[in-house]
Every structure is written in C-alpha cells, then in structure tokens.
Copies of this chain bind each other. A is one copy, B any other.
Amino acid sequence: MTTAPVDVDSARRDYAALVGRGLHLDITRGKPAPRQLDLSAELLSLPNGAHTAEDGTDVRNYGGLEGLAELRRIFAPALQVPVEQLLAAGNSSLELMHDATVQAMLSKLPGAERRWADEPRVAFLCPVPGYDRHFALSARFGIELIQVPMTETGPDMDVVERLVAEDAGIKGIWCVPKYSNPTGVTYAEDTVRRLAAMTTAAPDFRIFWDNAYTVHHLTDAEPELADILALAAEHGNADRVFVFGSTSKITFAGAGVGFFGASQANLDWWSALVGKRTIGPDKVNQLRHALFLRDEDGVRALMRRHAEIIAPKFAAVDRIFSEELGGTGLASWTKPLGGYFVTLTVPEGTAKEVVRLAKEAGIALTPAGATHPHGEDPADATIRIAPTFPELAEVEEALRGVAVCVRLAAAERA
C-alpha cells in the first residue's frame, strides 16, 4: 500500500474536534445486536410445556451424550457432517475446541503415538489474521503458535504443506473456513482439497475446522465451501478433521447449542472421554432450538432476517471508509459476503496508535494485534472491525472517528 502525504495540521484539528465530541462507542467484539436477539424471542417461552424428543426421550432427565437427533438433522447439512457423525452438545463451540485440545493432551488421539502432554513439542498453525480466542486457547496449553499468511483463498497452502510435511511437532491448524474471522475469506475448493489431502509428518494431525459462520450470509452470493470431511476421507485422512459449529450467532449468543463433527473413530475417542465428564447435554435447550428452527429452511429464513439487520452496518463500513479514506492510499479494508468482521489494514506500524487514538476519543476498538498469536502483529497494520452490535448510526459515527485516527497516525508517522 502506498501512502499519500497527509496534512498533519488538518489531521490534528480533525482529531481534536473528534475528542471534543466526547463519544462513548464500542465496536470491539463480534456480538449480535439486541434486535438480532429479538428474532429468537420465541425461545424465551419454548418448549412451552413439551418435554419429549422425537425418539420418546424425556429431555428433562439424564442421558443422551450425542444430543437430540432432530436438532442434529437441522444442522448436519450446513456443517457438512453426516447426521450420525454430528453431536449436539453444550452452549458453545469454543468449549468443544478447548475440550478437544484437553482430551488430545491427556489421551492418545486415534493415530497418535502418544498423548500430546507427552510430546516434546506441540505446535499449531495459525493463519493470520485470525481469531484471538483460538490462539489464546492453544497458548494456554503451551502449544507453540506458528503464523501462516491468509490469502484471498484461505491459508497460504504452499507454506502449510511445506511446514506440516517436515515438522512432526505440528499437530494442528486453526481454520475458520467460511467468512473467516476477521478477513471474511471463504476457503477456495482447492485450499480445502489440499488441506484434506496433504501429507503431514504428524500421524495425529488435526484440522480444527471452526465453521462458525456457515449460514451467516450478508448477500445472496453465498459462496460454497467444499466438504472437508468427505475430501479427507477420500484421501485416506478420515480422522484428520474436527468440525465445530454453534447457534451462537443464529439464536442466542451463549444460550445456544454447540456441535462437534468428526469421523467415527474420532467420535468413539471423544465419547469415551466426554462420557466421564457429563451424563449428557442440556436436551431441553436442544428441543427448544429444534422446535424454534424447525428445519434447514427455518434456519435460512432466520439468517435472512439477521442479514437485514446487519448488512446495512457492513455497507456503512465500506461507504464511510470509502468516503473518508478512499483514494488516500492510507487504508484498505475487506468487503465480506458474510460473517461478523471487517479487516482494516493501515500503514505498517500505525495500527496500535490508531487504536490508542480512538480509545482517547471514546471509541473502543479490538486491540491491535488481537488478530495474531500472543496479540502481536509483526507489521502492526491490522485492525478488526466488529460492526454488528452497535446501532447503525453509532457504527457510522465510530468509523468516521476511526478514519480521523488513521489519518492522524499516518501523518504523525510520516
């Protein structure tokens, strides 16, 4: 990115005016807005007396590690997992990713020579920019985080293939394959195929496939994601993939249902361990969700109403950045077709300063660096914008303010 000269004095004047307005705006996290949560208001009185699953199970009592079939059936197509290989679990997918890591640390994975806790070294590939909670989760277990560049088609597969082929310490890769957090990229078919087919030095390599935004379209484009479980099986790597998903940004964030999908060998491993942890998930909440969502079309209709609320906010990001920063060469930003984030790229070495300036002006942004392992973006150039939670007018106001900060940081640095 080439940067045009910015007039320092006018940038300072604009920033002083911004600070003078005494804003209190927050675009830090990918949270649904209250109006989005209102779309699922029915859940607040469901199952409305019902307590029997389609197979006759009393959902109020113990049992049923795999979760309700009627709910798993609704999400199997979107998550591209055969229903018999898909488990419906607790209230988040992050905890399933955590527990998959824990179980791999403490019990030999199918195909593993030893449990990860006994390995001299465990490393994960981290496509960057990526999701801070993934990286923090791995780091908490002492897992080494190796950065891999994201491209327009997913992780740079030349780098990935080379690393996993030569380094048996690399045990996994973090992927958000659809509308990736935070770039919005959907992995190309070739990327998915190469991930499924590549040779790994580690016999127990796992792809942590966090398909968090599979039905979270902002437009009618709806790019297709290749079926990684099927491709992995086709290439003799059936046990390579752990699929995760949840209803967190479909119904209620934190009061939804998480899903785990994998090969039968992985599921047997998983269930034997998880069966020591729990007598089963909250089946009442699963019944509640099945009754509310009904079927795939029910999910699709609901997601269209979400898009009606949040697409204008994403449009505002693009419009305001275009108006304020277009043609300056100071910034580029993604125009995602789905998901929850926009990635703003600013001149190298200025992202932290932009976030600091914004904070002083009353605009909370996700910390610069959060998109990289250990919170350190080597180029200090990436800022994640999360426009869903605030009202549209607030998003617009916040982003005009951010643009002022981008111009000032660039000017001061020049």
Q: How far is the CB of A164 from chain B (nearest CB, A)?
A: 25
Q: Which residue of B lies closest to A40 (CB)?
A: B60
Q: Does A51 contact B (CB under 8 A)?
A: yes
A45 interfacial contact with B, CB 8 Å = yes
CB interface residues, A 44-65, toward B, < 8 Å: 44-51, 58-63
CB proximity to B under 8 Å, residues A131-183: 133, 136-137, 140-141
**Cβ A136 vs Cβ B276 within 8 A:** yes
CB distance from A271 to the nearest CB of B (A): 13
- Could you tell me the distance in whole angstroms from the C-beta of A306 to the nearest C-beta in chain B? 14
Number of copies of this kind of chain in the complex: 2
Shortest CB-to-CB span from A138 to chain B, Å, is: 9
**Contact of B277 with A94 in the complex, beta carbons under 8 Å:** yes
Q: Whole-angstrom distance between the alpha carbons of A284 and B37 in the complex?
A: 12
- Of B37, B50, B94, B277, the contact of A51 (CB 8 Å cutoff): B37
Partner of A254, one of B43, B61, B254: B61
Chain A interface residue count, CB cutoff 8 Å, equals 55
The docked-state distance in angstroms from the alpha carbon of A34 to that of B141 is 42
Q: Is the CB of B279 within 8 A of A94?
A: yes
Query: Among residues 288 to 332 in chain A, which have CB atoms less than 8 Å away from a CB atom of chain B?
Result: none
A98 to B49 alpha-carbon distance, docked (Å): 32
Q: Compute how far the CA of A92 lies from the CA of B95 in the bound complex, rounded to whole angstroms.
A: 15
Residue A73, interface by CB 8 Å: no
Interface residues of A (CB under 8 A from B): 29, 31-32, 34, 37, 40-41, 43-51, 58-63, 90-92, 94-95, 98-99, 102, 105-107, 117, 133, 136-137, 140-141, 248, 252-255, 273, 276-285
**What would 30 A/B residue contacts be, using CB atoms closer than 8 Å?**
A31-B61, A31-B62, A32-B61, A34-B58, A34-B61, A37-B61, A43-B284, A44-B47, A44-B51, A45-B48, A45-B49, A59-B255, A61-B253, A90-B90, A90-B282, A91-B281, A92-B279, A94-B277, A95-B277, A95-B278, A99-B277, A105-B106, A106-B106, A106-B141, A136-B276, A140-B273, A254-B280, A254-B281, A255-B285, A282-B285
